[in-house]
Structure 1
Amino acid sequence: MDFIGAYSPDHLKFLLQGFGVTLLVASLSIVLSFIIGGAIGTARYARIPVVSQVLAVGVETIRNLPLLLIIFFTFFALPDIGLKLPVTTAAIVALTIFESAMLSEIIRSGLNSVEKGQIEAARSSGLGYVQTIRYIVMPQALRRMVPPIVSQFISLLKDTSLAVVISLPELTHNAQIIYGQKDSYVIPMILILTLMYFTVNYMLSIIAGRLEVKKA
């Protein structure tokens, strides 16, 4: 094991560049999937005729597909229909599609967890349907949804490593390039990858835990 060679300044800089790509892809995917998943989850909760059923089929289909297949589709299949995406964009699109489906179920379940009696009381007091959702249902549901949503974001951050199959220059990809130079770099690279992923995900886990305590 060559820790000194593996952790040379150039190698560490290369790893940090990959980590930056990982955080960028994860951050953009989180924002986009939260917006799209929120819209889908709310639409399904509202049970809009036809739209709700179509969305349900789409969500269940995506949730039961491996993320790796979706990544392959966005990068290798879309060019066949005239839509060629840069590798970073393809990774973001794939992660957003998959995470939107997962988050939509979390959000729909959170909305459904609010007691029907509160909704009926709000409607009987004169609030409209949209007002009831906005002022009564959504605030309570959000508090309940935060911990599972944060947990899903943790999974998303780890899932960015799957984009190594399309040569996204993220953390795992760059580490592979480094330990491909010498066999003695393998264990040092695995250790530093473990530390970097663990640090970020553990911080997110702490946030989720504290939010869970506040919610209780």
Structure 2
Amino acid sequence: MNFFDAFSFVNMRFLMDGLRVTVEVSVLSIIFSFIIGGFIGVIRFSNIPFLSKILGVVVDIIRNLPLLLIIFFTYFALPQIGICFDIFWSAVVALSIFESAMLSEVFRAGLNAVPKGQMEAGLSTGLTYVETMRSIVVPQAFKSMIPAIVSQLISLIKDTSLAVIISLPELTHNAKIIYGQNENYVLPMFLAMTIAYFIVCYALSLVSKYLETRQYNY
């Protein structure tokens, strides 16, 4: 069997359909986890009584659970209490929950890295706490957070492959179907997956470098 037969138009189109689903799940999960993780990180940094501690416990629990378990929970366990998601949204919810916990720690660490004098200086000029956070603390913290955030988001993209366990038709799932039909296609499909994941993740790392450069130029 010719090695290049695996790269037929039909197979490549099917594989690209899987890549499209991977990107869609990744983008939605990135958006949700960035918003939720940032919100939790700010709350924990602000030490709001009770709420910060409760969120801290929740974050610690989620961070110490396997992502695969969270995917199983959203797809198989939540319907038992009346909360039902299809395969696509189960993957998005699971990834968003897991990555929100991870990113919240990145945000909290970044905010803690800003000298306390910056907050005090902002408050002393008459700015409110929220205004000081928005205008002074967060912009400074974000510079140091960019590498860690992008690293976590790249991990998120690769983690979408775990959703193959609930038959999400993403890149790994579709590649598995293709080489499942012909064992000679295993190596070509792994090569194709490697290239596809590399392109997506490398593109994100380039965006990170661009943002980092812009931040340091100001």
Please give the TM-score of this superposition, normalised by the length of structure 1. Answer: 0.95
Partner of 1:83: 83
Cα deviation code 1:159-213 (max 9, x no counterpart): 0000000000000000000000111000000001001101111122233234445
Q: Distance in 2 between matches of 1:81 and 1:122?
A: 47
Q: Distance in 2 between matches of 1:13 and 1:29?
A: 24
Paired AA for residue 180 in structure 2: G
**Cα pair 1:37 1:99 within 8 Å, conserved:** yes
**Are 2:200 and 1:209 equivalent residues in the alignment?**
no
Partner of 1:104: 104
The 3-state SS of whatever aligns with 2:4 is: helix
Identity, % of aligned positions: 59
The 3-state SS of whatever aligns with 1:180 is: helix
Cα deviation code 1:46-93 (max 9, x no counterpart): 111000010000000000101001001111111222222100010000
Q: Distance in 2 between matches of 1:73 and 1:106?
A: 25
Cα deviation code 1:93-152 (max 9, x no counterpart): 000000000111111111111111121122222222112111110111122212211111
Q: Which moved more, 1:143-152 or 1:35-44?
A: 143-152
> Following superposition of structure 1 onto structure 2, how do residues 1-216 of structure 1 map, counting pairs within 5 Å?
2-213=2-213, 215=215
Flag structure 1 segments of 5+ consecutive residues without an equivalent: none
Q: How many aligned residue pairs are there?
A: 216
Flag structure 2 segments of 5+ consecutive residues without an equivalent: none
Paired AA for residue 197 in structure 2: Y
Q: Distance in 2 between matches of 1:205 and 1:61?
A: 29
| RMSD, aligned CA | 1.3
Q: Distance in 2 between matches of 1:5 and 1:52?
A: 56
**Cα pair 1:41 1:105 within 8 Å, conserved:** yes
**Cα pair 1:151 1:208 within 8 Å, conserved:** no
The 3-state SS of whatever aligns with 1:169 is: coil
